[in-house]
Structure 1
Amino acid sequence: MTDRELKYFENQLLNLKEKLKNQYEDNTERQEELRETTSELSSHDNHPGDLASEQYEMEKDITMSNVNRERLQEVNRALDKIESGEYGSCECCDEEISLERLETVPYTRYCVECAQDQEQDSKDFPYFEDETHIEQMRTTNDPNNYTYFDKEDTWQKLERMGSADETEEDYDFPQEAHGSVDKIDSFSTEDPEMQDPNIDPMRFKKRKRYRRRREE
C-alpha cells in the first residue's frame, strides 16, 4: 500500500470516527430526554400502550449506541494499526486486504475469504457454545464417519433422569384434599346455612359434626 493510499484511508477513518462520536452523543442525549419525559413516580396507572412509542425509541437508541460504540473501537484499532504500520493486513492469514474491501469497510480486520470463513463458523458453532458447553447437535450422516452428539443421544441422556410418566406413581399425598385447594373450598355454597355471610365456615363444619353425632 502506497503512502498516498494510506493517507486516504486514514482520512476516511478520522471522518468516520467523528461521525460515530456525534451519533453516539446524539443517541445518549435522546435517551436522557426520553427518561425525563417518562420519569413518573409509577407507570402502573397507565396502559402499557401509552409508553410503547417511548419504549421503542429508547430501545432503538440503546441498540444504536452499542453498535456505534463497538464500531468506534474498531475504527480506533485501525488508526492504531496505521501508526504501527500494520494497516491493510489480514489478522487471520496475514495477506494484504484488497483496496476494494478497505474502501467499503476501512476498519475491517480480515480479508474477504477469512471474513466468510468466520461467518460460516459462527453459524456452525454459536457464540454461546463455549460458554455453556452445549455440544453441537447434528445428524450422523457424515462422510468422514465422525461421531456426533445427536438428538438420539440427547434423549437417552434425558431419559436417565426420568420421564413424565413416572410422576403419577410417585405422587402420594393421602392427606391432600381432592377437588379443592383449601379447607374452605370443600364447603358447599348451595347449603342454605352457608348463604348467610356472617356464618364462619369452620364453626359451621363443627356444628354439622355435632348434629351428626347426636343423631347417631
Structure 2
Amino acid sequence: MLNDKQKQHLKTELVEMKEQSMKVEETTSQKESIKETSGELSMYDNHPADMGTALFDIEKNRVLNEHAESDIRKIDIALKAMADGSYGKCEVCQNDIPYERLLTVPYTTFCIEHAELVEQSVEEDVTLNEMENPFESTQDPTAIDYENSFDEVAEFGTSDSPSDFIDPKNTTYTDDVQGEPRLIDQMVEKSITDNTDDQD
C-alpha cells in the first residue's frame, strides 16, 4: 500500500511525463507531408536519397507522435486511478503493485507478472499478423510460387524490342587488318561508277 508521500511523488512524476509527452506530440504533429517537411515546392528535381530522408523523418515523427499519444492515454488512466483510489493495484489480480515498479513505470496498471502476459499477447498478435499470408485465401496455388512470377507476367508481354533478338555481329564492315576490303569502300566505288555511267 502506498503512503501519501509516495503517491504525491508518483503524481508529480506522472504530471512531468505528461508534459514531456505533450511537448513531443506538439513538435512531431506539426508537419505532415513531404512538401511541408522539406520546404520544397516540387520534389521532381530532388535526388531519391533526399526523398528517402524526408520520408524517414516523416515516419519517425509519426511514430514518436503515436508513442507520445499512447503515453498520454496511459498517464491519464493512472491519474484517474489516483483520483478514485485504485492506483497502485493490478487490474487483473488486484494485488498491490510494488513501489519500485511504480517508480520505474508510474503509469502501469499491472503487476510484473500480468504485465508480461499482456505484453506477450500484444506481441503475439503483431507477429501472427506479420506471418499471415495474403494469398492464403486464394485457390490458385501458383499465386504463392514466387519463382515463376516473372514467367507469369512475361505472358502479357515484355519490354524487349525486336532489336534485342538480332545477332550483335555487325556485317556491314569487315576488318582491313585481315586484308579484306571494306564493304563501304566497295559501295562508294559502285556508286561513283554508277554515277559516271549515268552521265555518259
**TM-score bin (small chain):** 0.5 to 0.7
Change (3 A) 1:18 1:45: same
Partners of 1:35 and 1:14 lie apart in 2 by 35
* Unpaired segments ≥5 residues, structure 1: 135-154, 165-177, 191-216
Contact between 2:35 and 2:43, CA under 8 Å: does it hold in 1? no
What do you get for the CA RMSD once the two structures are aligned?
A: 3.6
Per-residue displacement from partner, 1:15-60 (whole Å, max 9, x unpaired)? 111111112112234x369743535454234331122222222211
**Which secondary structure does the structure 2 equivalent of 1:17 belong to?**
helix
| 1:101 match | 101
| 1:46 match | 46
Partners of 2:111 and 2:27 lie apart in 1 by 32
| 1:7 match | 8
Change (3 A) 1:8 1:61: same
Partners of 1:163 and 1:5 lie apart in 2 by 62
Partners of 2:20 and 2:102 lie apart in 1 by 18
Partners of 2:23 and 2:59 lie apart in 1 by 19
The AA in structure 1 aligned to 2:17 is L
| 2:68 match | 68
Partners of 2:74 and 2:121 lie apart in 1 by 21
Percent identity, aligned pairs only, is 28
**Which secondary structure does the structure 1 equivalent of 2:73 belong to?**
helix
Change (3 A) 1:35 1:97: farther
| 1:110 match | 110
| 2:36 match | 36
Change (3 A) 1:79 1:53: same
Partners of 1:48 and 1:3 lie apart in 2 by 57
| 1:56 match | 56
> Looking at CA atoms only, which structure, 1 or 2, has the larger radius of gyration?
2
TM-score, with structure 1 as normaliser: 0.55
Q: CA deviation at 1:162?
A: 5.7
**Which secondary structure does the structure 1 equivalent of 2:75 belong to?**
helix
* Unpaired segments ≥5 residues, structure 2: 143-154, 168-200
Runs of 4+, deviation exceeding 6 Å: none
Per-residue displacement from partner, 1:87-124 (whole Å, max 9, x unpaired)? 0011111111011110000001111010112233344x
Q: CA deviation at 1:14?
A: 0.8
Per-residue displacement from partner, 1:129-164 (whole Å, max 9, x unpaired)? 6x9xx7xxxxxxxxxxxxxxxxxxxx9x98xx4645
TM-score, with structure 2 as normaliser: 0.59
- Which of the pair has the greater relative contact order for Cα pairs under 8 Å at 6+ separation? 2
| 2:27 match | 26
**Which secondary structure does the structure 2 equivalent of 1:6 belong to?**
helix
Partners of 1:122 and 1:52 lie apart in 2 by 30
| 1:126 match | 125
| 1:92 match | 92
Q: How many residues are aligned here?
A: 145
Contact between 2:78 and 2:107, CA under 8 Å: does it hold in 1? yes
Partners of 2:82 and 2:12 lie apart in 1 by 11
Change (3 A) 1:77 1:51: same
**Which secondary structure does the structure 1 equivalent of 2:108 belong to?**
coil
Counting only pairs closer than 5 Å after superposition, residues 204-215 of structure 1 correspond to structure 2 as none
